[in-house]
Amino acid sequence: MSRIPGFYQLPIDQRHAILTQKGWLTPDEIATLTGETGLIPSQADHMIENVIGTFALPLGVALNFVINGREVLVPMAVEEPSVVAGASFMAKLARAGGGFTAHTSEPHMIGQIQILDLPEPHTARLQLLENKARLMAELEGLDPVLERFGGGPRDIEVRLIADSPIGSFLVVHLIYDVRDAMGANAVNTACEHLAPVIEEITRGRVHLRILSNLADRRIARARCAIPASALAFGNFSGEQVRDGVIAAWAFAAADPYRAATHNKGIMNGIDPIVIATGNDWRAIEAGAHAYAARSGRYTSLTTWGRGPQGELVGSIEMPLAVGIVGGATKAHPAAKVALKLMGVSTARELAEVIVAVGLAQNLAALRALATEGIQRGHMSLHARQVAVSAGAQGEQVTRIARQMVQEKNINLERARELLGEGK
Ligand code: MEV
């Protein structure tokens, strides 16, 4: 059960106790998350260059999520207040409508091979298509592990870029099934491997050989339907909240300036899980925003509308190239624990959780913006951060933060004053 009432009020060690009692994590796994074990500099030294240490972020757990009928605890590594609380609260509301339904396409990535110096690009394009079987055969056995798990090359497409600053050229798209990997290494290796054969077939010169982060063959989708009655709070009726959310979405759907912020709010839910699981969040960001602009005009990655019973219905669709094998997903000890906590056993399941949380996070932002505004909820957590920056510890943090919120005067100077007074 991902619903744990009062979790947010407990001290950290009692939260740990619940996670171990309920069998979500073992004490050793918890130690990985608290800094007792986990990523040590000598391990980090094997991950990147010139290592001088490691960098920590708060790791929270979003509660209440039901995704495809399964209860999921969601680890989120993020510095921004209100993100974990917002996702958890919306997941609680979504439970009233059965939670989230999510699915993904096959894990197909695109590798790009640019071909220059072609005497006649149209002819070269057809020559490549005529030789598709040969090109595919060339890749056979290149990645035996991936092939053993059912992955490997799926198709070859050839695009003519008719007009560019250097004139026309061709681009081969290699469609590659990467199964449970993020796939960058597999795809880049395959692209580099194909280059000499492509040059032989076309008599051109292969230039770039690299995957595309616009992973539009690897799409994750989620939807939810929330009864209007579940949305009511304070002086706002459920219908008012629902219609307010829909009007807020319409703004993002029609206006790129708003869509950028709207989608940033979605990424508030997505990136923290991508980070916690050791995946490449820059790749996910690049893919999300490129996909949001696929029509030629940048727009919202979500939709919100009114269902036949007056319920609020939401959907999201975006590329999600995440893996559960390879890279930091296995090298980072905390990433392994994050994956275990979610109980996902395939990259597709991971993407389904992530995309559902993105939808929930978007709703959290729109609901707040369409009703009482974003600052009220934000302020108490912001005040806590300011109190901590001023040097407050334990009980002092709550006391000073509460006082600053009451005074509507949240700044470092005031926090320092209050800290001095309390001593
Ligand atoms: C802040 O991190 C995210 C929001 O700006 C998202 C939105 O405006 O939809 C609140």
Helical ranges in 62-143 per DSSP H: 83-95, 121-130, 132-138
First vs last Cα of the chain: how many Å apart?
42
Whether the CB-CB separation of 77 and 276 falls below 8 Å is answered with yes
Testing ligand 1's pocket by substitution, the residue of 246, 262, 302, 371 carrying the most ligand atoms inside 8 A of its CB is 262
What separation in Å is there between the alpha carbon of 258 and the centre of ligand 1?
10
Q: Which residue is closest in CA terms to ligand 1's atom 4?
A: 265
Q: Which residue is closest in CA terms to ligand 1's atom 10?
A: 365
Q: What are phi and psi of 281, to 5 degrees?
A: -75, -25
pLDDT in tens, 84-124: 999 999 999 999 999 999 999 999 999 999 999 999 999 99
Domain spans in the chain, listed from the N-terminal domain onward: 60-104+219-373, 108-211, 377-421
Whether the CB-CB separation of 230 and 96 falls below 8 Å is answered with yes
How much is the pTM?
A: 0.92
Overall fold of domain 108-211: Alpha-Beta Plaits (3.30.70)
pLDDT in tens, 131-182: 999 999 999 999 999 999 999 999 999 999 999 999 999 999 999 999 999 9
Instruction: List, in sequence order, every residue forming a beta bridge with 174; answer none if it has no partner.
Output: 111, 156
**Residue 298, amino acid:** Y
Report the mean per-residue pLDDT for the chain.
Answer: 95
How far is the C-alpha of 260 from the C-alpha of 255, rounded, in Å? 9
Testing ligand 1's pocket by substitution, the residue of 264, 302, 316 carrying the most ligand atoms inside 8 A of its CB is 264
What separation in Å is there between the alpha carbon of 265 and the centre of ligand 1?
4
Spatial CA neighbour of 87 closest among 265, 281, 250, 228: 265
Centroid of chain to Cα 304: 20
Overall fold of domain 60-104+219-373: 3.90.770
Spatial CA neighbour of 32 closest among 327, 396, 278: 278
Q: Which positions of the chain have pLDDT values less than 70?
A: 423
Contacts of 299 (CB under 8 A, 6+ apart): 252, 253, 254, 256, 259, 292, 293
What separation in Å is there between the alpha carbon of 212 and the centre of ligand 1?
28
The pLDDT value given to residue 423: 57
How far is the C-alpha of 154 from the C-alpha of 136, rounded, in Å? 8
The residue annotated as part of the active site, out of 29, 143, 271, 280, is 280
| CATH code of the domain made up of 377-421 | 1.10.8
What string of DSSP letters covers 55-71?
Answer: ----EEEEEEEEETTEE
Residues within a 6 A CB radius of ligand 1? 80, 261-262, 264-265, 268, 365, 369, 374
Question: Is 280 marked active-site?
Answer: yes
Q: Which residue is closest in CA terms to ligand 1's atom 6?
A: 265
